[in-house]
A and B are shown apart, each in its own frame.
Chain A
Amino acid sequence: DMKVTQMPRYLIKRMGENVLLECGQDMSHETMYWYRQDPGLGLQLIYISYDVDSNSEGDIPKGYRVSRKKREHFSLILDSAKTNQTSVYFCASSLSPGGGALEQYFGPGTRLTVL
């Protein structure tokens, strides 16, 4: 059963604290993503990782950094969290196909509240 997991599922932090969101996948997918979802907006891409230690900024990388030391794990780090980073964060993974439509598999999300 193909799966993307996220930990924790819920997190409350104070402004200025560091935040670590973890994502795992058991499909040996090369590519992994971090998105955030805010009310009334579509998912926005924060970072994309094409493989171990091969990471690229997405559309809204400011205030975030990532780490990918193993293919199956992808971490999102907020150094000194801000209140406007309160959101639901989704991790996804995909194979890089030779053609056709790319399919992404999504985790269940982490709801982060920064007070």
Chain B
Amino acid sequence: KTQVEQSPQSLVVRQGENCVLQCNYSVTPDNHLRWFKQDTGKGLVSLTVLVHENDKTSNGRYSATLDKDAKHSTLHITATLLDDTATYICVVGDRGSALGRLHFGAGTQLIVIP
């Protein structure tokens, strides 16, 4: 059973609009949660990592929240640009070290149109 569920599966927004991507998970323990951006045909690039209960992070136009009680995270993208077109992947780590496992969501495909 998939332990990391992302919604929506795909999303189309106009340049300049804001959008919110959701990640729900059942991974236990949940040491940390990371959001990656994957451009078409490329590898995964880390956007932000959340570690603590009720963590909030900000990285330019990207901001994220984590609710460990609800096992839920959101990624907000403000004032989208055409270059934001990509797949955004939520990943939950069950440990902080390499002895743990990373649990990957299937991703949300974001398309930004002019």
Contact = CB atoms under 8 A, between A and B. Distances in A.
Interface string A78-98: 000000000000100010110
A76 interface: no
B53 to A, nearest CB: 14
A101 B34 contact: yes
A41 B103 CA distance: 11
Nearest to A31: B98
Contact of A101 (B36, B51, B89): B51
Interface stretch (A13-21, A64-72, A102-110): A102-110
A103 B98 contact: no
Interface string B96-111: 1110111111110000
Nearest to B32: A101
A104 B106 CA distance: 17
Interface residues of B, number: 28
Contacts of A94: 98
Nearest to B102: A104
A7 to B, nearest CB: 14
A103 B106 contact: no
Contacts of B44: 43, 90, 106
A40 B41 CA distance: 15
4 A-B pairs with the lowest CB-CB distances in the bound complex, closest first:
A42-B104, A101-B32, A106-B43, A31-B98
A108 B42 contact: yes
Contacts of A107: 43
Interface string A43-80: 11100101000000000000000000000000000000
A40 B87 CA distance: 11
B98 A90 contact: no
Contacts of B97: 96-97, 99, 102
Given A101-B34, A101-B49, A108-B42, A42 B103 contact: yes
B104 A101 contact: no
Contacts of B89: 42-43
Nearest to A93: B98
A62 to B, nearest CB: 18
